[in-house]
Structure 1
Amino acid sequence: MANTLLADVTRYLDGPGKDVDVALREMLPGLRFSFNSMIARAVDKIATREPHEQKAMVQRVQDAIAHLGAEQQAVRKHGELIIRLFNKLAMIAEESQLDEETEALIREVFPKDADELIDSDSILDIHKLSLSDTFKTVLKRTLKLGLSTERHEVAAALGADMLNIETLLIEKFLGFYNDKPADIKNYIYIAWALWAYLVAKQKEVLDAHGDKALPFYGGIPGDVRAITLNYTAFLEQSLGDSKTIYFHGGLGNYVRMDTRDLLPVDDILKCDPAQFIREVVVPNVDVNHEDLRLQRHVIPALVPPLRLKPILSHQYIELWSRASDWVKEAEHVVVVGYSFNNADEHFNDILRCHPDRRIDIVVPEATSPAFVARMEKVFGTAANQYNTIKVNGFSALKAKKVRLISAKAGDVNLADLFEE
């Protein structure tokens, strides 16, 4: 998952991917970025967060410790400490809000220029506050636990928001548009580190299963066409190139940013990440020129999770158009493991444009109020229009031609859904 990926990538670079880290740093002289250094920057930004964001972080930690057993009492206490600190910060923000009584007094004392005086809805600018060393140290030590070898529930809950690799990719990718060399170098490093980790994990999965069918992918009927927002090559391996569309790009391609050429990675299933970076990526990257126009950058063909999707190559325009055609031509669409995130509105729009076909949506939280509310934004069907039903033994909701099926990807039989 995106909110736990950063810790996994960090551990990979410190262990089996050490050669990847070395190769990338040699290629990018002057690179100061490290995933551990992210922690200090994330902590410094805490005070600038809006109260509702801080409350969301508190709720995430509360959810994490709610199910801990008696043997994890130390972790529970750790969570309670984090909650207490954040609640105090939120209390300061809330108490600084300009209440109606104070505003009325200001208008009474300064009747002529009250509108000029009341230029804010708060008497304290929380964005300019600095946290104490006590608060910072507690947060830093907690987040570092999230990058360690053992899972720490509180660190994972806190890091899910503060150390999200998707947020990091968004922030650094903008360097290509606002001509910031440091951000460009950071993005090249982060993107290739993520790519190397995914390639290594992909090979690990394939080696572990050998000739056996992969979970979920091995159960996809051979006569369907499939669109994926994942990067791994599992889908293409199962259905073949002609029946798959990699909507957000894949591990098997990379892009030269100045010419927008989309280039293939040779034999991605057997690729050694460190070797590929040294033999192919390094010769095609040059960040030494002061004039950015003379630099050369190649990045993995992984479309960053921006709400406004960048066009890494003209081939993506054709790809997204073909994906829309496939949905339009389909009689029955089955969506599996997709959360309909706001960052993927471009894909949501494709389903919106073709609402008259049968659509099954399979995710564990499909019948939850929050997910049903999200579906209203996509399909325009009010929550009270859904009827409770069963689909192949799973709890589900149905409205018109849309069914929301509460199940994990590996548990549902796709062939049965398509045959109905």
Structure 2
Amino acid sequence: MSEHLLILGAGADRTAGIDFPLANTLLADVTRYLDGPGKPVDEALRAMLPGMRFSFNSMIARAVDKIATREPYEQKAMVQRVQEAIANLPSDKENVRKHGELIIRLFNKLAAIAENSQLDEETEQLIREVFPKDADDLIDSDSILDIHKLSLSDTFKTVLKRTLKMGLSSDRHEVAAALGADMLNIETLLIEKFLGFYNERLPDIKNYLYISWALWAFLVARQKEVLAVHGANPLPFYGNVPSNVRAITLNYTSFLQQHLGSDNPIYFHGGLAEYVRMDTRDLLSIENILDCDPATFIREVVAPNVDVKNEDLREQRHVIPALVPPLRLKPILSHRYIDLWSKASDWVKEAQRIVVVGYSFNNADEHFNDILRVHPDRYIDIVAPEANSAAFLGRMEKVFGTAANQYNKITVNGVSALQAKKARLIPARATEVDLSVLFTGNNK
């Protein structure tokens, strides 16, 4: 039994020198990959999925059409992201700043319509006076306008579509990235399409096969690039992980397994080196994943095991990458995940000291958060750049029940941190802390 447990989130793979994209920018990277070096992957997948019409560009039109149906708080969150994106732009990006101001202005007008349509107290009172017997039946909504049925003008739609398409281009565009982080989130897309396996929507199943294998191919190719750059040298961050710890990772990359071997890490969300046959739920291994050519693997292994020609779902065959969709309620891709998640819970229970690096405790990972909730009495260090922010403290309260005002200011490894009970929040990047020191529990 190991008393030390390391938990890794996406921030670990963001380390300089590895530079894997986060989920909110991933779709643009996958799109550029498929249009460039991953073109053979796109061709292999489309040959495997005859009649599929999906493209990431066509997804933009659907995302824009849904804008008016978004709740006001969601629209406000989009405005805030754009505001943050243009707040500190250099002077040579004046056009980008104006672009952001245009988006903000359009969204504010949409928000004003929603706000002004709210049923105010004076109007409600007049309705009750005019129709005293039927008022409760008449007042069945808090608004006089159903904003979910509104249709955006071509002007608004065109501005949004052109902006989002800029986010799929090779040039960095801050406003497009801010909008795309929400409207073009590949994890949200995976969730939406994965439901096709449950409600038997064949177009969604085809789309999921395409999107998930395209994502897998991109991650495999990117992983090979990182390993090629570093050669025989230790990887940033991973090379400094103590060899005597257990580790649970919520990432897909093979970097942790390379360093710790196959017994000490748990891949909670699955990994790049396995795939699943959906009818039997068998979890199958991919040999030599570090040298795998994605297009070749899809043509020679995946395609022969996929058959979507029959309209009867029971007569079809599907294999998908072992990448667990980021649902709050985790789908059981294979029975082996039941054992895996149980093992992860046991490791948390057995650990005397836990160090969490680059994990944001988001709602999409509630299944894993629940494991930490069940065992709240561990010594735990949480390392993330935003660890002391109000939003992060709010998530800590949901997971551990610790209010923001219960933390005390301390210093850990020379970094100003917060501590409450057995938990320490350390605002730092993965490479800015010494894991060996954290596992000793030293404060200085």
TM-score, normalised by the number of residues in structure 1: 0.99
Matched, 1:281 2:302: yes
Mapping for residues 319-398 of structure 1, pairs under 5 Å: 319-398=340-419
Which structure ranks higher in relative contact order (CA pairs < 8 Å, sequence separation ≥ 6)? 2
Give the AA of the match of 2:299.
R
Q: 1:419: how far off?
A: 2.5
1:392-411 deviation line (CA, Å, top 9, x unaligned): 01121001110000000122
CA distance in 1, matches of 2:195, 2:92: 45
Mapping for residues 134-153 of structure 1, pairs under 5 Å: 134-153=155-174
CA distance in 2, matches of 1:283, 1:144: 34
Matched, 1:183 2:204: yes
CA distance in 2, matches of 1:80, 1:273: 41
Q: 1:413: how far off?
A: 1.2
Match of 1:195 in 2: 216
Match of 1:310 in 2: 331
Secondary structure in 1 matching 2:304: helix
Give the AA of the match of 1:227.
I
Matched, 1:409 2:430: yes
1:335-386 deviation line (CA, Å, top 9, x unaligned): 0000001111111111111112210000001111211121111111121111
Match of 1:125 in 2: 146
Number of corresponding residues: 420
CA distance in 1, matches of 2:227, 2:148: 48
Secondary structure in 2 matching 1:241: coil
Mapping for residues 197-216 of structure 1, pairs under 5 Å: 197-216=218-237
CA distance in 1, matches of 2:321, 2:71: 34
Mapping for residues 188-267 of structure 1, pairs under 5 Å: 188-267=209-288
Gapped regions of structure 2 (runs ≥ 5): 1-21
- Which of structure 1's runs of 4+ aligned residues deviate more than 3 A? none
Secondary structure in 1 matching 2:122: helix
Match of 1:77 in 2: 98
Give the AA of the match of 2:230.
H
CA distance in 2, matches of 1:116, 1:2: 45
1:152-202 deviation line (CA, Å, top 9, x unaligned): 000000000000000000000000000000000000000000000000000
Matched, 1:4 2:25: yes
Secondary structure in 1 matching 2:416: strand
1:193-228 deviation line (CA, Å, top 9, x unaligned): 000000000000000000111111111000000000
Secondary structure in 1 matching 2:187: helix
Give the AA of the match of 2:305.
N
CA distance in 2, matches of 1:350, 1:106: 51
Matched, 1:27 2:42: no
Q: 1:236: how far off?
A: 0.3
CA distance in 1, matches of 2:355, 2:156: 47
CA distance in 2, matches of 1:350, 1:117: 46
Identity %: 80
